[in-house]
Amino acid sequence: MGMKAERKHILNYKFVYDNTKITNGKSSFRLKGKIEEWGHIEILSRIFYKKLERLLYGNEITDIMYESSIKKVLDENDLLEDTFFNVIKKKEYQFEALNTMLIKIFDFVYFNVKKKLPYTKELSLIANAISELLENTFKYTNRDFSLTAGFFSGEYPLIIKLENNYADRNSKETTDQIEKLQAGIKEINQFEDPDEAYLEVMKNRIETGEENLNGEKESSRLGFAKMRADTKANITFSPTSKLYGESGITITLSIPIEISSADEMLKIIRTSL
C-alpha cells in the first residue's frame, strides 16, 4: 500500500471511529451510527471485533496481551529504549513502515498468544456475521444502526442485537423487504441443525439460481444460514425496535459460546510471552 493510499485508509478508519458512538458497560458495549459508504462496513466490523475481544478476554488480559507483545516486537527490532509512541512519530516509521510494524505486532499476538487462547476462531466467525448484518443494513434500510453485544449467564451467554431504522416504514417496498427477511429467518430456524439449514439454502440457490420461485433474492437468506452455521446462533427477528420504535426492526443473535476461566487465560499468556 502506497503512502497516499495508506493515509486515506487511516483517515477513513478515523472518520468511521469518530462518527460511531461507542458506549461501554461492565459486561456489554454498543456501537451506534450510520453507514455512509460500503467500504465503512469492513471498518465497523473491525471495530466490533476489537470491542468484542476486550469483552470476552477482559481488560486485564487484553492489556497484558498487547502491551507485552509490543515490547517483544520493539525489542526484536532494537527499539525497546523508545516508547511505542516515540517510535511511530519518527519520520522513518511513518505510513508503510508503521503499517509493517503494526502488522508484525498483530501477527505476533495471533501466532504466539491468541492461537493458544479460547475465542480466537469464534471472534473471526462472529465478526463475519456482523459484516453480513451491516451489509443488509446498508442495502435495505436508511443505514442507521445500533449494535449491542452483552455477556450473560445461561445457555446463550453472548447476545448480539442489531437495530435498524427505515426511512419509510409503511411503504410497500419496505414492507415487502421486512416480510421476506422475517420469512427467511423463520425458514432457516425450522432446521434444528444449522449446518443442514445452510446446505439446504445452498442447494436451493444452485437449483433455482439467484431468485427462488417467489422471486425473493437468495443472497440475504444464504447469509443468515451461513451466519447460523458458523456461530451456532439462535436468530430471532422483531418487526419493531426499542431504539427506533415502529420504524425499526431488531435482529438478535444468541450465541452458545463456552465461557473460559480468566485465570486459565492469564496462565496461557504468561507462558506464551
CATH (residue range 3-57+119-257) = 3.30.565
Question: What whole-number distance in Å separates Cα of residue 129 and Cα of residue 140?
Answer: 17
pLDDT tens track for 140-165: 899 999 999 999 988 999 999 999 99
Three-class secondary structure of residue 21 per DSSP: strand
pLDDT tens track for 21-67: 999 998 999 999 999 999 999 999 999 999 999 999 999 999 999 88
Alpha carbon of residue 136 to chain centroid:
14
Q: Do the Cβ atoms of 174 and 166 come closer than 8 Å?
A: yes
Mean pLDDT, the chain, whole residue set: 87
First to last CA, the chain: 30
Question: What whole-number distance in Å separates Cα of residue 20 and Cα of residue 50?
Answer: 14
Among 6, 33, 217, CA closest to 137: 33
Q: What is the pTM of this model?
A: 0.86
- Whole-number Cα distances in Å, 162 to 59, 136, 246: 24, 11, 15
